Amino acid sequence: MGTVLKRSFGATLYAKGAKPSRAQKRYLDLGTGQPGGKLPLFDADGQRITPRTIKACLDAGWCEPWHRNPIEPKWLVCRITESGCRAIGHNI
């Protein structure tokens, strides 16, 4: 995981320039080829992306909520941000 500054009440703050973990990078990579940068709920093997990975990327500002999933309201549907693209070395 990136450089953690503080952890409280389930939120993690990342230092500027922090790098994503391998799992976070794999997740963010999935959005670079999608329309609008939409990040999937499942990986290429059909396994659900863990909420921990998604929330860590949200906390770091590497992705942002896109819209609610009416079928499964607890699932976080997100899209990659410009800072997320930079964090994984993807040219915007």
Q: In order along the chain (92 residues), what is the average pLDDT of each group of 10 residues? A: 44 66 96 92 92 95 88 87 94 72
pLDDT recorded at residue 88: 96
Please check whether residue 45 lies inside any domain of the structure: yes
pLDDT recorded at residue 92: 67
Please check whether residue 12 lies inside any domain of the structure: no
Contact between residue 79 and residue 62 where contact means Cβ atoms under 8 Å apart: no
Which pTM value belongs to this model?
Answer: 0.78
Other Cβ atoms closer than 10 A to 53: 17
pLDDT recorded at residue 73: 81
> What is the number of structural domains in the chain?
1
Range of the domain at 80: 22-87
Please check whether residue 38 lies inside any domain of the structure: yes
Q: What is the CATH number of the domain that holds 64?
A: 1.10.10
pLDDT recorded at residue 47: 94
